[in-house]
Chain A
Amino acid sequence: MSKITLGLALTSAIALSSPALAAYPEQPIQLIIAYGAGGATDLSGRALATALGPKVPQPILPVNRTGAGGATGTASVAAAEPDGYTMVVARVGSHTVNPAMKDTLPYTLDDFDFVAVYEINPVACAVAADSDIDSMETLAARVNENPGTVSYSSSGVGSLLHIAGAMALRSFGVENPVEAAIHLPMAGGGEAATAVLAGTADFICTNSSALSSFVANGQLRPLMVTTAEPVAGFDAPTSADLGKPELESLVGWSGIAGPAGLPDEVIETWRGWLEEAVQDPGFQETMDRFGSIVDLKSPEDSVAFINEQYRIFRELVDELDMRVE
């Protein structure tokens, strides 16, 4: 046992002899990703961490802490020390859809300080290539004529896909999409797209990045994108073209947040890093390939954007009685 004590003493001596750094960051920073490896959030967060690598004096370690549609990882950040060493890739699902839908969520938006939103993903609605549904209007009409037969797939309750399907149908005149259309939750985003491909579900509304390869391969046909501008590779009208500009609030996004009470110094430092990272050509190229738009919003704009999206989703959830108690 005495050797163990000796070992302890030795190693502590080594650790203490390293020069102390006063400024943030003086140790590696954990960047929690509340969704699984290979998903949109994961790729975005890892691309960001890679871009930040040479610019940050300490390593940024992306950590996947998955479960409960992003709630497990997000809640763990909400409960962490606001010292700037535990940050989270905030995402549309975990930070607006989930809080809007679930009363039982172990966190609220107030538990976070947002550094910035840095990326926007357009949302697209699509059907299988051999489907006879050729437009959003046809789709809505089909739902109204035969309630309970048309289904849409999602990556689970409280995901962007879940609310997007309902919101799109509603703005095209389906009075109660929760009753009239079938919501088919799958175990993940990839499975949700596969379900449409295989004919298990009739349509899907999700981030354009999740659909782009299927669209390019002619396996899925897009019906609509929800941005003001057309999305490259998607031969489909925008929601503005279709006279539904209100659907523009239906976009995916990623941002950086930390537990509420972050010191100003931390937020400022992160802002600086993000400003540099979004200039990084490698980062831009990666985001581009995934069909994301790099768009670093100011702190005020970010918070306003998130709150506005939350408010719109919350209203929809209340009207349609989609609340999960």
Chain B
Amino acid sequence: MSAPRTDFWIGVGVVALGSALALVAVPEGVVSPRNVRIAVLSPAFWPNILAWVVALMGLVLALQSLRPAKTPDEPHEAAGAMPRHGLLRLLALGVGSIAFCAFATKLGLVWASMIAFAVVLLLTGTSYRIAAVVVAILLPLALYAFFAHVAAVPIPQGIFVRLP
């Protein structure tokens, strides 16, 4: 897909997003009291304007991309090629981040971080295996020591193993 084509679809998507915000999210999500005397002071006034600005800018972007582009050929970015299993890894990372938020406090932030570290390592691979294992264990422990004992931040310990 060439850049103008991509921009066209981004524009369409942004128009859809902005309209959805203005037509659905603002009326549903913003509570306006009944006794607003000055219209511009309504809690929904500002979000409404912004949502429409988003939609309008999406429209401008879409129209702009239709303009016959005489841009000297876009520098062809080699990055366009899809890496093997790239999307699969992204999916794994996404699931991982959700799981992290769901279980980190139960498990303890230190242990969850070690697992997160390991998962990212497994996804990307590394040529520094020993260093990786050392860092995976020591970094969360060091951060725990710093935050809990120097910065006095209660780091969640989880229900399994408590650290001093």
Spell out A's residues near B (CB within 8 Å): 1, 3-4, 7-8, 11-12, 14-16, 18, 27-28, 30, 59, 61-63, 104, 321, 324-325
Instruction: Encode contact with A along B139-164: 1 for CB under 8 Å, 0 otherwise.
Output: 00100000000001110010011111
Whether A18 pairs with B164 at a CB distance below 8 angstroms is yes
- Which residues of A lie under 8 Å from residue B35 when comparing CB positions? 321
Whether B154 pairs with A30 at a CB distance below 8 angstroms is yes
Q: Are A63 and B161 CB-contacts (below 8 A) given A4-B114, A7-B137, A324-B33?
A: no
Which 6 A-B residue pairings sit nearest by Cβ, starting from the closest?
A12-B161, A7-B137, A3-B133, A15-B162, A61-B154, A30-B154
**From A15, A28, A30, A325, contact of B161 by CB (8 A):** A15
CB within 8 Å of A: which of B1-49? 31, 33, 35
- Which residues of B lie under 8 Å from residue A61 when comparing CB positions? 152-154
Cα-based distance from A15 to B110 in the complex (angstroms)? 14
- Which residues of B lie under 8 Å from residue A14 when comparing CB positions? 164
Whether B164 pairs with A4 at a CB distance below 8 angstroms is no
Count, chain B residues at interface, CB 8 A: 19
In this assembly, does B118 line the interface, its C-beta being within 8 Å of a C-beta of chain A? yes
Whether A4 pairs with B136 at a CB distance below 8 angstroms is yes
Name B's interface SS: loop
- Distance (whole angstroms) from the CB of A15 to the closest CB of chain B: 5
- Which residues of B lie under 8 Å from residue A30 when comparing CB positions? 154
Cα-based distance from A18 to B161 in the complex (angstroms)? 12
Taking CB as reference atom, which chain A residue is nearest B160?
A12
**From B31, B152, B161, contact of A8 by CB (8 A):** B161
A-B CB contact pairs (8 Å), 30 listed: A1-B118, A3-B137, A4-B114, A4-B118, A4-B133, A4-B136, A7-B114, A7-B137, A8-B111, A8-B114, A8-B161, A11-B141, A11-B161, A11-B163, A12-B161, A14-B164, A15-B161, A15-B162, A15-B163, A15-B164, A16-B161, A27-B157, A28-B154, A59-B152, A61-B152, A62-B152, A63-B153, A63-B154, A104-B31, A321-B35
- Distance (whole angstroms) from the CB of A158 to the closest CB of chain B: 13
Spell out B's residues near A (CB within 8 Å): 31, 33, 35, 111, 114, 118, 133, 136-137, 141, 152-154, 157, 160-164
- Distance (whole angstroms) from the CB of A54 to the closest CB of chain B: 16
- Which residues of B lie under 8 Å from residue A4 when comparing CB positions? 114, 118, 133, 136-137
Cα-based distance from A28 to B162 in the complex (angstroms)? 12
Cα-based distance from A1 to B35 in the complex (angstroms)? 62
- Which residues of A lie under 8 Å from residue B31 when comparing CB positions? 104, 325
- Which residues of A lie under 8 Å from residue B133 when comparing CB positions? 3-4
Which of B31, B137, B141, B153 has most chain A Cβ within 10 Å? B137
Taking CB as reference atom, which chain A residue is nearest B134?
A3
Known contacts A1-B118, A8-B111, A15-B162; 6 additional CB pairs below 8 A are A7-B114, A12-B161, A27-B157, A27-B162, A28-B154, A104-B31
Q: Are A325 and B33 CB-contacts (below 8 A) given A8-B111, A11-B163, A15-B164?
A: yes
Cα-based distance from A249 to B153 in the complex (angstroms)? 36
Taking CB as reference atom, which chain B residue is nearest A26?
B162
Cα-based distance from A8 to B164 in the complex (angstroms)? 14
Cα-based distance from A248 to B46 in the complex (angstroms)? 40
Cα-based distance from A110 to B12 in the complex (angstroms)? 50
- Distance (whole angstroms) from the CB of A27 to the closest CB of chain B: 7
- Which residues of B lie under 8 Å from residue A27 when comparing CB positions? 157, 162
- Which residues of A lie under 8 Å from residue B114 when comparing CB positions? 4, 7-8
- Which residues of B lie under 8 Å from residue A325 when comparing CB positions? 31, 33
- Which residues of A lie under 8 Å from residue B163 when comparing CB positions? 11, 15
